[in-house]
Structure 1
Amino acid sequence: MPFRRPALALTALLAAAPAGANEFTPLLEALVDSDIRAVVQDPVLIAAIRAQNAETAGLTETEILARDQDWRAQVGTAETPLINRVLSGPAAEHLRAAAEASGGLFTEIFAMDAVGLNVAASGVTSDYWQGDEAKWQETFPTGAAHIGEIELDESTQAYQAQVSVVVRDPETGSPIGAATFGVNVELLQ
């Protein structure tokens, strides 16, 4: 049975915890070692990240920022070619299927390339470039998992943490990208 806490009790618990620490960390770490690793090791996702790395390896910061601005301008409009590219195809379908199969545990999943640009996503993200954020900076260069703070997600009214991991090339073990999972901590068990 899923672990559920009343929102008020969860709010009080989180307010009392020291910054960056919470009782869900061991459960989130266990989730990284099980379900999350299985999702990011899928050959379809690996192939998509490799392909995008071949396209984006030589981009300058100015070009990356221009693509990010283009993404932001497309959010909520009818013409969304860049967003559609990230939300369509086998890798995006894989991430959506993993989110759906989680029964609400994963509220979002997106994968990034070696410069921090979105490769595939289960839904629209607010920006295209994640390379300037902890979810990429504390995973891709270090090889470590990053567990963000628990926050109330306004769209779902659920408490969630973003859990990010490096994605490694299965042939070489080298980092090729990263992936972020929005995890509804109210459903952890």
Structure 2
Amino acid sequence: MIRTLALSIPVIVVASIAGAVDAPPAMKSFVETDVMTWAQSEQVITAITAQNAQTAGSSAVQIEAWDTQWRAEVGQDAQPLISDVMGRPLSAFLAEQVAASGGRITEIFVMDALGLNVAASDVTSDYWQGDEDKYSKSYGAGAGAVFVDEVEFDESSQTYQGQISMALTDPATGEVIGAMTVGLNAEAFF
């Protein structure tokens, strides 16, 4: 099903699965009025552009190796790849946005043109998002695309959460250069 937000941004909603519901309109409105004010900021675009220059031409084997490394580092003392991403200024900025949201945002992460993490407010379970809907239905759908995933119960936090992902473009060229996913505490919007 395709829906259109007030800003005429196409929104793709996946078919319902057991235990999942469509995101409430207040979540979509929050993204339009609050998140979009900084999602295309110079800081975000510059970080994506810099990583795209570094990862351009990376093979599927290299991407899988990075993803495997990231997954192995989660929860370990030594985390060179995770520490690199989490130590970036954009990761600190994203964490500030989560803190400033009053409990509405649970996580934010930014992806490059390959779907690799550029920055994150918190450690993600994997490094490569390129094989997931949050990437393919935002970045892969082109400029202006916003993918609204269903709200699902998150066992770890014992709350209902939803993710909204959007394609990010270079303002100078209009070219899609990456994507951002914002996790929202749905209970704060009902």
If the length of structure 2 is used for normalisation, what is the TM-score? 0.85
- Which residue in 2 is equivalent to 1:112? 111
Structure-1 separation of matches of 2:71 and 2:102? 29
C-alpha separation in 2, matches of 1:42 and 1:84: 23
Paired position in structure 2 for 1:36:
35
By how many angstroms is 1:149 displaced? 1.5
Residue aligned with 2:139, SS: coil
Q: CA deviation at 1:25?
A: 4.0
SS at match of 1:36: helix
1:19 aligns to what?
A: 16
Matched, 1:164 2:165: yes
Q: Contact between 1:45 and 1:94, CA under 8 Å: does it hold in 2?
A: no
SS at structure 2 position matched to 1:126:
coil
Aligned-pair CA distance for 1:172: 1.4
- The 5-angstrom pairing of residues 165-180 of structure 1 reads 165-180=166-181
Return the alpha-carbon distance in structure 1 between the equivalents of residues 54 and 68 of structure 2.
18
Output the CA distance in 2 between the equivalents of 1:37 and 1:118. 19
Which protein is richer in strand relative to its size? Answer: 2
Distance 2:42 2:156 in 1: 31
CA contact (8 A) 2:24 2:189 kept: no
The answer to whether the aligner puts 1:98 opposite 2:90 as a matched pair is no
Question: Any idea what SS the aligned residue of 1:141 has?
Answer: helix
More helix by share: 1
Specify every segment of 5 or more residues in structure 1 that has no aligned partner in the other structure, as ranges. Answer: 1-17
What runs of 5+ residues in structure 2 fail to find an aligned partner?
1-14
Q: CA deviation at 1:95?
A: 0.4
Identity among equivalent pairs (%): 47
Contact kept? 2:86, 2:123, Cα under 8 Å: yes
1:64 to 2:50 alignment: no
Q: Does 1:185 align with 2:186?
A: yes
Q: Deviations over 1:14-58 (max 9, x none)?
A: xxxx71684634223222322221231121111111100001111
> In the alignment, is the contact (CA less than 8 A) between 1:146 and 1:164 conserved in 2?
yes
Counterpart in the other structure of 1:15 = none
Match of 1:131 in 2: 130
The question of whether the paired residues in 1 share the 8 Å contact of 2:108 and 2:181 is answered with: yes
1:137-185 per-position Cα deviation (integer Å, ceiling 9, x unaligned): 0000213111112111222211100110111112112111001111001
Distance, in Å, in 2 between the alignment partners of 1:136 and 1:108 is 15
- Equivalent residue for 2:11? none
Task: Work out whether residues 105 and 184 of structure 1, in 8 Å CA contact, stay in contact via their aligned partners in 2.
Answer: yes
Pair 1:81-2:80 in alignment:
yes
* Alpha-carbon separation, structure 2, partners of 1:135 and 1:153: 17
Correspondence for 1:151: 152
Whole-Å separation in 2 of the counterparts to 1:155 and 1:22? 19
Residues 58-93 of structure 1 show CA distances to partners (whole Å, capped at 9, x for unaligned) of 101111011000100110111101101111121011
Name the residue aligned to 1:13: none
The separation in 2 between residues aligned to 1:53 and 1:42, in whole angstroms, is 17
